[in-house]
Amino acid sequence: MAQIRIENVRKEFGTFTAVQSSSFTIEDGEFFMLLGPSGCGKTTTLRMMAGLELPTSGEIYIDGEEVGMKPASQRDIAFVFQMFALYPHMNVGKNISYPLLSQGMPKAQVKKKVDEVAQILGITDILKKPVGGLSGGDRQRVALGRAIVRDPKAFFMDEPLGALDAEFREHMSEELRALHDRMGATTVYVTHDQLEAMQMGDKIVVMNHGVVEQFGVPQDIYDWPATMFVASFIGSPSMNFLNFHGIVGSGTNSVDLGDSQIRIPEQHGGARGDLALGVRPEHVHLDDSSSYRGEVTATEYLGTTQIVTLNTPNGEIKARIPSSDRVHVGEKTGLHFDERTITVFETEKGRALLSAGNEGVLNHG
Amino acid sequence: MSFSVTEPSNRTKWVAGTAVVLYAVITILPLMWIIATGFKSPADSISYPPKILFEPTLEGYVNLFTQRTRLNEEDLAALPPPETWYDEMVREQGQVITGASRYGERFMNSVIIGFGSTFLCMVLGTAAAYAFSRFRVPLKDDLLFFILSTRMMPPIAVAIPIFLMFRQLGLNDTHLGMILLYTAVNLSLSVWLLKGFIDEIPVEYEEAALIDGYTRFQAFYKVVLPQAATGIASTAIFCLIFAWNEYAFAVLLTSGTAQTAPPFIPTIIGVGGKDWPAVAAGATIFLVPVMVFTILLRKHLLRGITFGAVRK
């Protein structure tokens, strides 16, 4: 059980900066997701927390104690690797008991702990088997078993479901979350899969190019992205950007796109130049009474909903609408945007402007 | 008619099979001849045409392990009756045993030097290969190339400097000197081979061990070593074969105390005429340890040879 705090942590490999001055706090007992595309520094950040890499600068606190330069073996944490890293020359039971043996725990007690963990994970019947012939799911369970057996302060998981096939991932992610809720230990989980992050995480950090883009609960991040990167990385299809050149003043609550006026949340910061309105596809409605118009270029049927691609004067956008609505390619239609959910971005910096909507979210972190 | 890309045709199989058998015969024949000669009598061993079928005798082996002297008939008759079967065998040649030959000692020297240098080579080689594989060593590529470059000339090309060096250091004709020399010659090969094997072991295993509360050395010892066993075994065979068979340096640098079997075996010829069966017996016994070692580790050897041929 531990709170983990990262302060201005930075990591360089030669001339390449993997992580640039990141800071965030993981509260005790949280299921915390480090999310980002490959090469964004999320795994490096996790490895620094675990002690497998040493930070170039900055501090890492586990339970208030600075551990930045401590070796992994002294941090009392568990790590689940993407390829599981089960010791191939040992059987399942030996693998699970290995972290206990390093502490010099008596044999009888080790056996008791291993049996207990095997019970929790439902792998009692394979304890004597070599790890070589196990299925992906069982390997995953053994890796988890090795992690939980010694009640560490925190669990670190590096894309633990990445090696499993889609069908099984679903099941394992539920199992993982249930396990976390049962143990109540702090878990830090690295993934590039935004759905997985939203589904499982209490909190999410979104990273890109070694920079923390945003940090918060999944819904805040989805609804009020701090940057255009977060907006486009999270959500499928991703957030639409209606690009325009103009001025948004503080206190204003609408922008003019061509001849149409689009209502937006009251702005608390102003900007001029190249701007963009960020609208989630599900907040785009086809409404012929609206003066802002677009032309349907494609439709994609997804069961209960459909994704409609439209050409507008401000670029291509996608709308998620019920499948029952009849839409035809080539049709011109009016578009209405859900005004409460719109975020205005400065295109060049890629940052969201503060508004009545996102102020509460973006100001806390 | 069906045609398959993976299954060779009967004709191809027949040609390939014949080629393999032919090759096996060519390589095994001299070996068989040596082994057979060891069991021939001196007369049979030089008979012409050569004898394929002969009456086997242990004379060669007895002569290999003994020093004998020739007596005239009266002296022989005056001796008490022979006590053992080998005494009797020697007397039939008109000789008596005066003591044990030096073959046993020389053979032990080979064992000590061969296995000693192989062991040392594995310890140093594994440590160096691990460091090159896992750590950010400054000038890593240059160092690796330098290590390999020591292998680019035949070792004997540096015989004279090594001879002078050994004389200065008092390493001439010592076990230590020969162990160090063979280790030095083999080390480059073993570092390169072992680095390849260790590179193939995912670093996550060690990281898992570090997280599980083990030190770096424990992680190396308990997790990396067992997985590198195959690589270490096959590399050890290569090193042992070289050290075991090495002749030129052994002739140059050893003469007595630390003389290995290869330079000793030819000297047997000189003892009481051309004693080919004794020479053949010496060669046969000399073959045994490497043969046993290789057969025991043959699976690893095969993996060592084909290693790196296919990327997974």
A81/B207 touch (CB, cutoff 8 Å), yes or no: yes
Given this model, what pLDDT does residue B2 score?
58
CB-based contact B207 A72, cutoff 8 Å = yes
pLDDT of residue A96: 94
pLDDT band at A1 (very low <50, low <70, confident <90, very high): low
Q: Do A206 and A304 belong together in one domain?
A: no
* CA atoms of B299 and B304, how far apart (whole Å): 9
Q: B114 in helix, strand or coil?
A: helix
Helices B276-296 and B298-306: angle between axes, nearest 10 degrees: 70
Beta-carbon separation of B213 and A81 below 8 A: no
- On whether residue B2 sits in a domain, the answer given is no
End-of-domain residue from the set A179, A196, A223 = A223
Asked if residue B310 has pLDDT above 60, the reply is no
pLDDT at A337: 92
pLDDT at B305: 58
Q: How confident is the model at residue A281 (pLDDT cuts 50, 70, 90)?
A: very high
Inside any domain, residue B15: no
Query: Is the model's pLDDT at A365 over the cut of 50?
Result: no
When pLDDT is averaged across residues B194-207 and rounded to a whole number, the result is 91
Check whether residue B89 and residue B201 sit in a common domain: no
Task: List the single residue in A77, A81, A89 with the smallest CB-CB distance to B226.
Answer: A89
Cα separation, B147 vs B142, whole angstroms: 9
Q: How confident is the model at residue B162 (pLDDT cuts 50, 70, 90)?
A: very high
CB burial of A30-56 (b: ≥16 within 10 Å; e: otherwise) equals bbbbbbbeeebbbbbbbbbbbbbbebe
Q: Could you tell me if A212 and A319 lie in one domain?
A: no
One domain for residues B156 and B229: yes
| Same domain as A345, residue A314 | yes
Chain B contacts of A146, Cβ < 8 Å?
208, 212
Residues 174-203 of B with CB under 8 A from A: 202
**pLDDT at residue number A190:** 94
Can you tell me the distance from the alpha carbon of A205 to that of A212, in angstroms, rounded to the nearest whole number? 7
The answer to whether residue A300 scores a pLDDT higher than 90 is yes
How many whole angstroms separate alpha carbon B142 and alpha carbon B155? 21
Per-residue H/E/C for chain A:
CCCEEEEEEEEEECCEEEEEEEEEEECCCCEEEEECCCCCCHHHHHHHHHCCCCCCEEEEEECCEECCCCCHHHCCEEEECCCCCCCCCCEHHHHHHHHHHCCCCCHHHHHHHHHHHHHHHCCHHHCCCEHHHCCHHHHHHHHHHHHHCCCCCEEEEECCCCCCCHHHHHHHHHHHHHHHHHHCCEEEEEECCHHHHHHHCCEEEEEECCEEEEEECHHHHHHCCCEHHHHHHCCCCCCEEEEEEEEECCCCCEEEECCEEEECCCECCCEEEEEEEEECHHHEEECCCCCCEEEEEEEEECCCEEEEEEEECCEEEEEEEECCCCCCCCCEEEEEECHHHCEEEECCCCEECCECCCHHHHCCC
A97 in any annotated domain? yes
Nearest Cβ partner for A87 among B210, B215, B223:
B223
In a domain, B122, yes or no: yes
Assess whether B116 and B247 both reside in one domain. yes
Assess contact for A264 and A253: CB atoms under 8 A: yes
The number of domains in chain A is 2
Q: Looking at the domain assignment, is residue A101 inside a domain?
A: yes
Number of domains in chain B: 2
Domain of A66, in residue numbers: 4-223
Of the residues B65, B83, B101, the one at which a domain ends:
B101
Whether residue A232 is contained in a domain is answered as no
| pLDDT tops 70 at residue B185 | yes
Reply yes or no on whether the pLDDT at B137 is more than 60. yes
Asked if A161 contacts A172 with a C-beta cutoff of 8 angstroms, the reply is: yes
pLDDT at A180 over 60: yes
Count the neighbouring beta carbons within 10 Å of the beta carbon of residue B236: 24
> What pLDDT score does A68 carry?
86
pLDDT class for B121, splitting at 50, 70, 90?
very high
A150 and A284 in a common domain = no
Select from B42, B41, B38, B103 the least CA-distant residue to B67. B103
Q: Provide φ and ψ at A307, rounded to 5°.
A: -105, 120
Average per-residue pLDDT for chain A: 90
Q: How would you classify residue B260: left for phi > 0, otherwise alpha for psi between -120 and 50, otherwise beta?
A: beta
Of all residues in chain A, what percent carry a pLDDT higher than 90?
56
In this predicted structure, what is the pLDDT of residue B4? 61
- Say what the pLDDT of residue B130 is: 95
Chain B: give the shortest CA distance to residue A202, in Å: 25
Within a domain: residue A228? no
CA distance B28 to chain A (A): 38
Same domain, A157 and A22: yes
Q: Please state the rounded mean pLDDT for residues A316-334.
A: 92
Of B205, B214, B223, the CB nearest to A73: B214
Strand partners, A316: A311
The CATH number for A285's domain is 2.40.50.140
In angstroms, the CA A34 to CA A30 distance is 12
Average pLDDT over residues A169-196: 88
What confidence tens digit (pLDDT) does each residue in B6-20 have?
A: 777 888 899 999 999
Contacts of A72 in chain B (CB under 8 A): 207, 210-211
pLDDT of residue B309: 47
Same domain, B54 and B110: no
Residue A230 lies in a domain: no
Does B114 lie in the same domain as B90? no
Task: Report the residue of chain A nearest B209, measured CA to CA.
Answer: A99
Q: Residue B272: what pLDDT? A: 59
- Shared-domain flag, residues B96 and B111: no
pLDDT, tens digit, 9 for 90 and up, residues B218-262: 999 999 998 888 889 889 988 999 999 999 999 989 888 889 999
Q: Is-contact A314 A322, C-beta < 8 A?
A: no
B13 within domain boundaries: no
Say if the Cβ atoms of A146 and B208 lie within 8 Å.
Answer: yes
Instruction: Mark yes or no for CB contact B211/A89 under 8 Å.
Output: no
What is the interface size between A and B, counted as CB pairs within 8 Å?
A: 53
Closest CB to B211: pick one of A78, A89, A103: A78
Are residues A58 and A183 located together in one domain of the fold?
yes
pLDDT value of residue B10: 86
Q: Are residues B249 and B124 in the same domain?
A: yes
Query: Are B92 and B197 contained in the same domain?
Result: no
Three-state SS letters, A348-359:
CCCEECCECCCH
Does residue A297 register a pLDDT over 90?
A: yes
Q: Are residues A18 and A162 in the same domain?
A: yes
Contact A24, A50 (CB under 8 A): no
A119 domain residue, yes or no: yes
- CATH number of A40's domain: 3.40.50.300
Tell me, what's the pLDDT at A21? Answer: 86
Q: Are residues B78 and B154 in the same domain?
A: no
Say yes or no: B93 and B176 in one domain: no
Task: Report the distance separating Cα A46 and Cα A34, nearest Å.
Answer: 8
The answer to whether residues A206 and A245 belong to one domain is no
Classify residue B79: in a domain, yes or no.
yes
Decide if B253 is inside a domain.
yes
* Region B58-66 average pLDDT: 88
Among candidates A51, A83, A150 on the partner chain, residue whose Cβ is nearest the Cβ of B202: A83
CA–CA distance from B289 to each of A255, B189, B283, B296, B305 (Å)?
90, 22, 11, 11, 21
Among A223, A254, A271, identify where a domain stops. A223
Do both A205 and A344 map to the same domain? no
* pLDDT for the residue numbered B114: 94
pLDDT value at B54 more than 70: yes
**Cα–Cα distance measured from residue A29 to residue A155, given in angstroms and rounded to the nearest whole number:** 10
**pLDDT of B202 above 60:** yes
Taking only the tens place, the pLDDT of each residue in A74-120 is 888 999 988 888 998 899 999 999 999 988 899 999 999 999 999 88
Q: What value does the mean pLDDT take over residues A15-44? A: 91
Residue B19: inside a domain: no
Are A214 and A283 part of one and the same domain? no
Report if residue A231 sits inside a domain. Answer: no
**Which residues in A lie closer than 8 A to residue B205 (C-beta atoms)?**
85, 87-88
Count CA within 13 A, CB hemisphere, residue B4. 6
Whether B296 has a pLDDT exceeding 90, the answer reads no
Q: Is the pLDDT of residue B311 over 50?
A: no
The 10s digit of each residue's pLDDT in A129-162 is: 998 888 888 888 899 899 989 888 899 999 888 8
**In terms of domains, do B140 and B283 share one?**
yes
Residue B307 has pLDDT above 60, yes or no: no
pLDDT of residue A169: 83
Cβ–Cβ below 8 Å for A81 and B208: yes
A153 touches chain B (CB under 8 A): no
Token duo for residue A249? 């003043």
What is the per-residue pLDDT for A205?
Answer: 93
Q: What is the pLDDT of residue B100?
A: 86
CA distance B305 to B302: 5
Q: Would you say residue B17 lies in a domain?
A: no
Over the stretch B29-40, which tens digit does the pLDDT of each residue have? Answer: 999 999 999 999
Cα separation of A327 and A355, whole Å? 34
Answer whether A233's CB lies under 8 Å from A206's CB: yes
- Model confidence at A342: pLDDT above 80: yes
How many Å apart are CA A226 and CA A212, to the nearest integer?
A: 11
Domain boundary among B66, B101, B136: B101
Quote the domain boundaries for residue B77: 42-101
Interface check for B221 against chain A (CB to CB < 8 A): the answer is: no
Q: Which of B64, B85, B101 is the last residue of a domain?
A: B101
CB of A98 within 8 Å of any CB in chain B? Answer: yes
Q: Burial letters for A118-150: b for 16+ Cβ neighbours within 10 Å, e otherwise?
A: bebbebeebbeeebeebeebbbbbbbbbbbbbb
The answer as to whether A229 is a domain residue is no
Residues A293 and A159 in one domain: no
In a shared domain, residues B57 and B151: no
Question: Measuring CA to CA, how many Å separate A120 from each of A83, A92, A144, A148, A181?
Answer: 22, 15, 11, 10, 13
A364 pLDDT more than 60 = no
- Residue-level pLDDT at B306: 57
Alpha helices in B221-275 (DSSP H): 225-245, 248-253, 261-264
DSSP summary character for residue B223: I
pLDDT in tens, B253-289: 988 888 999 999 888 876 556 788 889 999 999 999 8
Residue A26 has pLDDT above 90, yes or no: yes
Residues A150 and A195 grouped into a single domain? yes
Which CATH number do you get for residue B124? 1.10.3720.10
